[in-house]
A and B are shown apart, each in its own frame.
Chain A
Amino acid sequence: MNLTLKIWRQKDSNSKGQMVDYKVTEISEHMSFLEMMDVLNEQLVNAGEEPVAFDHDCREGICGMCSMYINGEAHGPDRGVTTCQLHMRMFKDGDTITIEPFRAAAFPVIKDLVVDRSAFDRIQHSGGYISVNTSGNTQDANSIPIAKQAADQAMDAATCIGCGACVATCKNSSAMLFVGAKVSQYALLPQGQVEAADRVKNMVAQMDLEGFGNCTNTGACEVECPKGISLDNIARMNRELMKASI
């Protein structure tokens, strides 16, 4: 298929950006979206132009590096996938596709489609861990049974890949789904209880400090999350915060 791409080009964080049109031809429907971008970039390099910068690494939907806002949706039109798992069969010959970076005040643009998501790391530094030394001198792994349901729910929360689609999607640029997922993982496990109150307070405080917005229960984040992280996690985080505050 032949496509028109409207892509956000921005030289660096200090420059002004703009949308630029490109044409790509003979795109196979079996290509992944990023392979289509590779075709474009190869075309640009061969023409002596600068290729479009975008983040990507594992290309199998788990590292969380890729981050494109395609036709007005984080990770594009498919559900339950990251940009790298999006395939061209979701598009039609002759389509015009708009490609922007993840937009949020807390995610400044580095170049073109690459944004700085270090705010997520700083939230994790503020409490996204259990304070146990890695000496290996802990108790036997089976000494505390954990109900299967709790373990499974913790796992569901822990599958968050930290891509930031929730923030990019949210009209308030809220990071509550991301923070809620981490808080929930530990809140559901016995190992996380000791520091639960400090953890949720510190992580929420850091989230606010980074300039993320608040949650107004729109639920768009859950729809766009490539890993299907549930809104329940935000509710659990609020409950944890309430518990910790009184």
Chain B
Amino acid sequence: MILVDTLAQGLLLGGLYALFAAGLSLVFGIMRLVNLAHGDLIILGAYLILTITSATGLHPFVAVFLAAPAMFALGWLLQTHLLNRVLGTDILPPLLVTFGLSVVIQNALLEGFTADSQKLTAGPIEAQAMHIGPVTLGVMPVLTFASAVAVIFVLNQIFYRTALGRAFRATSDDAVTAQLMGIRPQRVFAMATGLALVVATIAALYLGTRANFDPSIGPARLLYAFEAVIIGGLGSLWGTLAGGIVIGVAQAVGASINPEWQILSGHIAFVIVLLLRPRGLFPRAND
């Protein structure tokens, strides 16, 4: 029974990691951009929700609806004025620019909010649990996982059933020919990053209600997110969910043996998967 419990916890934790990773996967898939500031942007989102709840007294689940458009706009501006200028065949400039961005965001948050731990309070729901068969699961983790599935489902719908999604895929395939179709890659990329930050805001909601956060925890989240994206395979959003679950389950299993082994177990799972499948579990056919 303990194993089933651990696996269940791991699965749900995977949902959180999938939420961290989904925005990253979108951006990585469309423009091959490695955004090293993604983790810090999630933390920024958490602080934004915190600020809104402090200022308005709204519940975090409501505040997120105000934070999301703001984060979309931030993503749009970031892509248009900063990242679009360094996108190209060389991977180094975007890597370094987002590195710089990560440092700036972390320290700006530090200046603004100090290093004190913060938390978003969702109220009594945080302590509630539900019984599904033999296992007892927290309501919040289940909600997190359900949100992850919903987000990825919606993103997939956008990707495969809308004109915007077609533009995403075409631009990702061949930006020059896409321009011949009248598509402006710069705008497509801005849309993608905006969307990614909306997803990041949802991730921030669950991160912030689940545990304490402070300006410095961004990079670790980034690492888990990237592990999930890479395990899943470039361009596959459901793959990202799978990747998140792999990391989550590995961490849960490792932690159940020895709490100090939690993160290490996740890393080892990552290494093993990549040794067997260097391109991830569900990579795109054409890359």
- Asked whether A and B interact, the reply is no
Interface residues of A (CB under 8 A from B): none
Chain B residues close to A by CB (< 8 Å): none
